[in-house]
Amino acid sequence: MTNPISSYLGVHGAALPLREQRMQLLASNLSNADTPNYKAVDLEFQSVLEDAARNAASGAGRAERAPGSLDPAGRIFERPGVQPSLDGNTVDADTERAAYGRAALEYRASLSFLESKVRTMLTAITGQ
Amino acid sequence: MSNLPIFDVAGSALRAQSVRLNTIASNLANADSVASTAEGAYKPLEPVFQARALNGDGSLTAVNVKEITQSGTPPIKRYEPGHPLADGEGYVYVPDVDPVAQMVNLISASRGYQAGVEMLNTAKELALATLTMGR
């Protein structure tokens, strides 16, 4: 069964939790910038989002999954380090900081798209 | 685990880096502590970090302080017969603390701590913006 609200929100409803999950990955990387043998990870954002968009368009697969669990497992890959350090850690703190800032901005972008959708819907409901 | 996992991850980074800062402070403070035996001399401390997965698929990894190790480098034997703590042969023992290495560690730890605070701030702003959506 298609949830009318989630199909109305379209890909943005799926993108927001995905962006949050990517931020969690980047936060893990930054937190472990000094942990020996930790490997930097990232999300194959494009392919996960394409799946989400396909699901949102067809309306399938949305009902049985809780929002935010678009199953990115298996799409998490180890990012090769630019300059791996001697202790086996591949996190480049500057790259991660830049990626985190960018991810935060992208999250805000998704949020404002979503917000305008919600506003439109609220206007339609209240008729004002 | 809470509803805001980034807070857990960044919080673990703050905790780990502050343990590291504490050990560096101890090492620098005790750089000149003397003892009358080699065993009694202060041993420089160093924390060992370890990644800790918070969920099954490895998408959320906090950092833990696994243990705090004591350096095994032997203390420096210094000849100071007039020193009140000198042993029978006139030697005192001072820990082998390298102030330069400690300062480099200190800078790295404080950068790590700052990164954690920035992460928390950004995550907090985004969570607040999301909570007030449509208002």
Q: Which domain holds residue B13?
A: 5-32+44-71+98-131
Section A28-35 average pLDDT: 91
Q: Which of residues 42-71 of B touch A (CB under 8 A)?
A: 48-51, 57-63
Please determine, for residue A75, whether its predicted confidence score (pLDDT) is greater than 50.
yes
Q: Is residue B76 part of a domain?
A: no
On chain A, the residues whose CB falls within 8 A of the CB of B124 are: none
The whole-number pLDDT of residue B103 equals 95
Please determine, for residue A66, whether its predicted confidence score (pLDDT) is greater than 60.
no
Please determine, for residue A27, whether its predicted confidence score (pLDDT) is greater than 80.
yes
CA distance B57 to B61: 10
3-class SS of residue A6: helix
Q: How far does Cα A50 stand from its chain's mean position?
A: 12
- Cβ-proximal residues to B46 (8 Å cutoff; 6+ apart), any chain: B23, B68, B69, B71
Q: Total domain count for chain A? A: 1
Q: How far does Cα A82 stand from its chain's mean position?
A: 24
Please determine, for residue A62, whether its predicted confidence score (pLDDT) is greater than 60.
no
With a threshold of 0.90, tell me whether the complex ipTM lies above it. Answer: no
Contact check, Cβ <8 Å, B5/A24: yes
- Cβ-proximal residues to B105 (8 Å cutoff; 6+ apart), any chain: B20, B24
Q: Which of A7-11, B73-77, B121-125 has the lowest mean pLDDT?
A: A7-11
Number of neighbouring beta carbons within 10 Å of residue A37: 12
HSE (CB half, 13 Å, CA atoms) of B125? 10
The whole-number pLDDT of residue B124 equals 93
- Type of residue found at B52: R
Section B110-124 average pLDDT: 93
Q: Is residue B93 part of a domain?
A: no
Contact yes or no for B119/A27 (Cβ under 8 A): yes
Please determine, for residue A48, whether its predicted confidence score (pLDDT) is greater than 90.
no
For B57-67, what is each residue's pLDDT tens digit? 777 889 999 99
The whole-number pLDDT of residue A56 equals 65
Contact check, Cβ <8 Å, B51/A97: no
What separation in angstroms does the CA of B68 have from each of B22, B45, B50?
Answer: 11, 6, 12
The whole-number pLDDT of residue A6 equals 76
On chain B, the residues whose CB falls within 8 A of the CB of A30 are: 10, 13, 115-116, 119
The whole-number pLDDT of residue A93 equals 87
The whole-number pLDDT of residue B42 equals 93
Please determine, for residue A1, whether its predicted confidence score (pLDDT) is greater than 70.
no
Q: Closest Cα to residue A96, out of A44, A36, A45, A22? A: A22
Average pLDDT, chain B: 90
CA distance A34 to B46: 13
CA distance A3 to A59: 8
Band the pLDDT of B2: cuts 50, 70, 90. Answer: low
Q: Which of residues 10-49 of A touch B (CB under 8 A)?
A: 16, 20-21, 23-25, 27-28, 30-38, 41, 43
The whole-number pLDDT of residue A63 equals 43
Q: Which of residues 108-127 of B touch A (CB under 8 A)?
A: 108-109, 111-112, 115-116, 118-119, 122-123, 125-126
3-class SS of residue B50: strand
Q: Which domain holds residue A52?
A: 4-126
For B86-97, what is each residue's pLDDT tens digit? 888 999 999 999
Q: Total domain count for chain B? A: 1
Best mutation target among A16, A19, A31 (most B Cβ atoms within 10 Å) is A31
What is the pTM (predicted TM-score) of this model?
Answer: 0.82
Helix (H) or strand (E) holding A23: helix A11-31
3-class SS of residue B95: coil
Q: Which residue has the higher pLDDT, B89 or A75?
A: B89
User: In angstroms, how far is the first alpha carbon of chain A from the final one?
Assistant: 31
For A97-124, what is each residue's pLDDT tens digit? 999 999 999 999 999 999 999 899 889 9
